[in-house]
Amino acid sequence: MWRLAGTSVLRHLETLGWNPVRHPDRASGRMGDMSEIDGMGTERATCVLAPNPSAMTLDGTNTWIIGEPGAEEVVVVDPGPKDGKHLRRVADLVAGQGRRVGLVLLTHGHPDHSAGAAKFAELAGGGKGGGVKVRALDPAHRLGDEGLGEGDVVTTGGLELRIMETPGHSDDSLTFWLPADRAVLTGDTVLGYGTTVLEGKLGDYLSSLDRLRAFSADQDAAVILPGHGPKLDDPLAALDHYIDHRRERLAQVEAAVAAGARTAREVVEVVYADVDKSLWPAAEWSVQSQLDYLNERP
């Protein structure tokens, strides 16, 4: 039920043209500037930007090709939407390097990351079918019998990726740690700019952020490779910003409740007073998840 509700609200947000991801720092409209995103990465990871920009997907979905230098097999993370040209481009880039796709991984099941996965697996497998497997937390998005979850270590072509479950953006959101490059692939849990829309529970999301913050500090993470937007070269600053933003919003909601607001709508009327009313339904949904969190908090 929650998933259904979340999905319809996401669609609603899109209809509204709601841009919950835009951040004041980036409000100058760097969206659409794909030059800094397509081709970015680390020694082992390279971004191929999908041509699906929108308020929800920023510049488009970041597809990642990840491989050990000199290895024949690579991993592709989030093939992206079912866009034949994009999927073909990713497959051609891999083939052009004289390599092949050993495995496809999904950070989560949202269609802008997963809808092209089966088609891509087919393309990358030479159209023979049954070649390349797709691993994801949600069984609905897998191809083959292998899942993906907390503590899993994926080794393909000598590459090592460690898997963490980081629910919040969605219940099935994963984060991948690429130790050789000290890179954190966050999917939509942390984006290159702005903040992410939550389909899952706020409590889960806050725990995920705290965990990623502690993990990044502990491992001395060098870079965040997000599901949308540019890479972030200061992981701790980015995570602190995300955590602060959520806490600030929560404090505003708490204050509105303390001042007498009884419903999500009443909270919105106070906290979002300066925001266009067409966005209030979306804001109400966000506030409701914050109220749920505050009510469930011990």
Contacts with Zn ion by CB under 5 A lie at 112, 188, 227
Contacts 24+ apart (CB under 8 A), 239-243: 239/190, 239/209, 239/212, 239/213, 240/213, 242/190, 242/195, 242/209, 243/206, 243/209, 243/210, 243/213
Residue 45 Cβ, how far from Zn ion at the closest point, in Å?
Answer: 17
Residue type, 161: L
| Nearest CB to Zn ion, comparing residues 7 and 219 | 7
Q: Which is nearer to Zn ion, 188 or 284 (CB)?
A: 188
Say if residues 291 and 264 touch (Cβ distance below 8 Å): yes
Question: How many other CB atoms are found less than 10 A from the CB of residue 24?
Answer: 8
CB of 272 to Zn ion, least distance (A): 24
Closer CB to Zn ion, residue 112 or residue 165?
Answer: 112
The nearest distance, CB 81 to Zn ion, in angstroms, is 10
Q: How far is the CB of 180 from Zn ion (least distance, A)?
A: 25
Is there a contact between 164 and 215 (Cβ–Cβ < 8 Å)? yes
Q: Which is nearer to Zn ion, 114 or 216 (CB)?
A: 114
For 280, phi then psi, to 5°, come to -60, -40
135: tokens are: 């691993």
272: left (phi over 0), alpha (psi -120 to 50) or beta: alpha
CA–centroid distance for 51 within its chain: 16
Token pair 């491989």 is found at 67
- Encoded tokens for 16: 């509204």
Measured in degrees and rounded to the nearest 5, phi and psi for residue 43 equal: -55, -40
Instruction: Please identify, using beta-carbon distances, which residue of 152 and 188 lies nearer to Zn ion.
Output: 188
Count CB-CB contacts under 10 A for residue 268.
25
Q: Least Å distance between CB 55 and Zn ion? A: 12
Q: Which is nearer to Zn ion, 68 or 171 (by Cβ)?
A: 171
Our CB check for Zn ion shows the closer of 148 and 267 to be: 148
CA 52 from centre of chain: 15
Considering the complex, what minimum distance in angstroms separates the CB of residue 199 from Zn ion? 11
> How far from each other are the two terminal CA atoms of the chain, in whole angstroms?
25
Pick from 163, 38, 52: which is nearest to 110 by CA?
Answer: 52
Distance of CA 258 to the CA centre of its chain: 33
Q: How far is the CB of 191 from Zn ion (least distance, A)?
A: 8
Nearer to Zn ion, 83 or 112 (CB): 112
